[in-house]
Structure formats: C-alpha cells, structure tokens
A and B are shown apart, each in its own frame.
Chain A
C-alpha cells in the first residue's frame, strides 16, 4: 500500500473517462433507445387504430351488403309485378281482339246469310213464278196476276 502521485493521475484519467462517456457514449445510446421506445409506442397505437378501422370497415361492408340485398329484392319484386301486369294486359288485349274478331266474323256471317237468304228468296220466287208461269202459261196473265205473285214472293 503506497499512496503517491499515481492517485492524481488516476483522478484525471477518471474525469476524462466520465467526460468522454458523457459526450460520446451516453447521449447517442439513450437517444436511440428513447426513439425506439417512441417508435414502438407509435407502432402499437397504429396497429390498434388499424384494427379499429378494419372493424369499422367490416361493419360498413355488412351494412352495404344488407342495403344492396334489400334493393335487389325490391327490384325483383317490381320486375315481377311488371311482368304480371304485362301478361295481364296482353291477355286482356288478346281477349278483346278475339272478341272483336269474333264479332266482325259474326257480322260477316249474318250479313252473308241474310244476303244469301234474300237471294235465295228471290230465286225461289223466280223459280216459283217460272214454274207457275210454265204451268199456268196459258191461263194466267203475268201482268194480271203481278200483284198476286209479288204477294207470294213476300210470303216466301
């Protein structure tokens, strides 16, 4: 054990070591550590936020899907209604057209039948007159019996 000037030299060396550590070692390392801590904190916060945003987005998507489905159902229903309407209208139109055609055909038939009857009647009268003329040529004067013949025609 011998104390000498080495002590003073070591005190100086010690102070220099502390000063150098204080200047070149401690601040950059603590700064790096603190910055990393902050980064990690920010990262965790961002992750939390992202998770929340994802949940929000999921909820929004579900809502959108629900709305879209409802709209689709509405559109389909409307389309069904429209289709029913179109079919109904077509049916009514067709029935009306058919009735019209039927009526027209009936009218034609009636018309033709009437005409045919009238024609037939005329021809029968003529035939009758011709027959009667042949039978009664000599006995009946056509002019004299004209009124009678016409009466006959009308009766047929």
Chain B
C-alpha cells in the first residue's frame, strides 16, 4: 500500500491513517492548531464544485441546454424542490446554501470511496507525514457546518419574529399557558427545551455525518490493513470486501449529504415558522 507502510504493523497502519496532518498555530498547540489535510481537501473539493457549476452557470442558455448544463440544472432543481417544500419565502439565500451543502458534502464524502491509500500516498510523496483525505470524517468539518446552520437558524428565527419575539417564543413554547402564573411556572421548562434543541440540533447534525463517514472510512482502512498484513490469506477476501463495501458506502455518502442538506433547510424553516 503506501510507500512506508510495508514494514509497519497492522495497528500502526490504522493509527497512521487516523492521524491528521496537524499544524500548531501557537507553542501550546491543542485548540490553536489546524488540520491542514482537512482544510486543503475541503477547499479543493469546494472549489471543484464551484468551478463545475460555475462553468455551466456562466454559459447557461435559456435555449436548448447542453448535456452538462442539463445535469447541473437537474441537480439545482432537485435541491430547489427540497427547499421549496420546507420554505415558503425567497430562496435567493437558502437555495444556494442547500446546493452548497449537498454538493460540498457529497464531494467530501466521495473521497471515502477512493482507495484509502491513494491520496495519502500522493501526500507522502509531496512530503506530508500524515494525511486524512476525507474532510467529513473530521468533527471540525461537520461541526463547522452544523454550527453555521445553527447561527443561520437563530438569524432567520429572529428575522422572522424579531429578536424579542424570538426569545418570547423560546420562553413560552412548547408548553403554553393562558394565565400569568402558569406562564411563569412553565417558563424554565420552555427555556430548557429551547436550550436542548439548540444543542441537539447541531450536535446530531454534525455527529450523524461524522459517524457515518468515519465508520465507512475506518472499515476501508481495516480491510486494506488486513490485506497488507496477512497478504496471502486475506488478499482475495479483502478485494471482495473492499468492492462490496464501496457499493454500500456510495449509497451512504449520497444519503448523508442529502440528510444534512434536508435537515439544515428544515431547521432554518422551522425557526422561521410562527407558532
């Protein structure tokens, strides 16, 4: 597999593949450090999506579309339809948001079904000691997106109801009452529910994506690791397993990208709804 992995043990191989290319920003490292591989891969893939769609968007004709434009339009209309179902306002922001989420995550997830050592080997050749090519298997990536969605949820909620109205809603829902006494009594529970919602939404959004892609990635690593360690015995089985899991994983990466996009739009639309 990769150039240096020939002599290392199975555990070393897995450990090696689970280590980020980390660059400390300060002496202390820790929180103040960057995962260079995640940043590089996510930006490259994001711009790949932008160039692909931008290329056909620039040349978009309202006449008979070419095959490329037809596909891009199909993808856009699919995403637009999902947003339209949940959101009944202008889609000038939510449309692009959903499209970006869907295709960016799909592209990043797709790195998962490429051979596990392909990109790391290229990175090793370029001088990196560690390289994880799947950005969505990094919690930083998934939390960055889910927290951005949370901020947008708050923003759209306040935009629709006003800042006061939004927090009034947080205090008086879901447990509503008629008289003042009951309202005061129920307020703490409402606030608690609101806070739980504010935490569970981004956490579940981020961890669902991360968990699915990380698990898939790890399985590929295990299969590849077993193949390298116990060559004669595992090799044929490994190839069969690798191909079989690739098909399952293809389905997973698509579904996860869709779920993330769909839930992000749903959360934002829910925040804007009047109770």
Interface on A for B, CB 8 Å cutoff?
1-11, 13-15, 17-18, 20-22, 24-33, 35-36, 39
Contact = CB atoms under 8 A, between A and B. Distances in A.
A29 B39 contact: no
Nearest to B50: A20
B145 A14 contact: yes
Contacts, number: 128
Interface residues of B, number: 49
A21 B50 contact: yes
Contacts of A11: 144, 147-148
Contacts of A25: 50, 53-54, 57, 96, 99
Contact of B143 (A3, A30, A35, A39): A3
A6 B143 CA distance: 10
Contacts of B232: none
Interface in B43-91: 43, 46, 49-50, 53-54, 56-58, 60-63, 65, 69, 72-73, 76-77, 80
Interface of B: 20, 25, 30-35, 38-39, 42-43, 46, 49-50, 53-54, 56-58, 60-63, 65, 69, 72-73, 76-77, 80, 92-93, 95-97, 99-100, 104, 135, 138-141, 143-145, 147-148
A31 to B, nearest CB: 7
Contacts of B31: 3-5
A5 B32 CA distance: 5
Say whether chain B's binding surface is mostly helix, strand, loop, or mixed: helix
8 contacts: A1-B139, A3-B143, A9-B34, A10-B144, A18-B100, A24-B57, A26-B92, A29-B53
Nearest to B138: A6
Contacts of B97: 18, 21-22
A33 B43 contact: no
A125 B38 CA distance: 168
A24 B60 contact: no
A46 B54 CA distance: 34
B140 A7 contact: yes
B34 A29 contact: no
Given A32-B62, A33-B77, 18 more contacts: A2-B140, A3-B139, A4-B30, A7-B144, A8-B144, A10-B135, A22-B96, A24-B54, A24-B58, A25-B54, A26-B92, A28-B57, A28-B58, A30-B80, A32-B65, A36-B62, A36-B65, A39-B63
B140 A22 contact: no
A17 B104 CA distance: 9
Given A26-B95, A28-B57, A7 B143 contact: yes
B81 to A, nearest CB: 12
User: Quick one: which of A22, A31, A32 has the most chain B CB within 10 A?
Assistant: A32
Contacts of A6: 33-35, 38-39, 138, 140-141, 144
Contact of B63 (A17, A27, A30, A36): A36
A144 to B, nearest CB: 143
Nearest to A11: B144
B45 to A, nearest CB: 10
Contact of B57 (A3, A29, A35): A29
Contacts of B54: 20, 24-25
Contacts of A13: 39, 42-43, 46, 144
A30 B62 CA distance: 10
Nearest to B20: A2
Nearest to B46: A17
A24 B50 contact: yes
Contacts of B56: 29
Contacts of B53: 21, 25, 29
